[in-house]
Amino acid sequence: MDEFVLARVLHVLGVVLWIGGVAMVTTVLLPTLARMQSTAEAMAFFGQFRCRFAAQARFSTLLVGITGFYMIYVLDAWQRFTQWQYWWMHAMVLMWLLFSAMLFIVEPRDRRRQATDASKQKHISPEVFIRIQRKHLMLLVLSLITIAGAIAGSHGWLIA
């Protein structure tokens, strides 16, 4: 069962890197970019930041997915997905699928589209940053609820 402990450690570390990064982007980076005087400078900085962060986020979500499914397999916990008391397991998979789709499909597609229309980046308004921040905030809140539910549920605090 040492492999299981290692999988759990890697899983938690992956979640910390992944959701911690989402929290930093949501609460620090996006508000700072929204207040910058030059939209062009803000977008240039965001583009540089996004490339490095996206690589870390992709690695983290991939690690979380592999270790999560490994732990379900080892525990033979598939039946939990049929019981509403384990809502947090559904939420974990849903959040993982959502972020994975964004990181591996939506974001690369949008980046390619923006590269072909570089002039579009100069005309992004502060309202766009606010919309992006709101979406990130919603994802962060849902992620934190999921994490809280997973911690409580994995320690036996299940809804009767």
**pLDDT tens-digit series, residues 115-147:** 776 555 555 666 777 788 899 999 999 999 999
- Per-residue pLDDT, averaged over 22-48, amounts to 86
Report the candidate in 68, 126, 135 with the shortest Cα–Cα distance to residue 106. Answer: 135
- Give the 3-state secondary structure of residue 108: helix
Residue 43 has pLDDT above 70, yes or no: yes
Residue 51 has pLDDT above 90, yes or no: no
Angle between the N-to-C axes of helices 39-75 and 2-24, in degrees from 0 to 180, rounded to the nearest 10: 160
Residue 1 has pLDDT above 90, yes or no: no
Q: Please state the domain extents for the chain.
A: 2-154
Q: Say what the pLDDT of residue 79 is.
A: 97
Q: Say what the pLDDT of residue 131 is.
A: 84
Which of the four pLDDT bands, split at 50, 70 and 90, describes residue 82?
very high
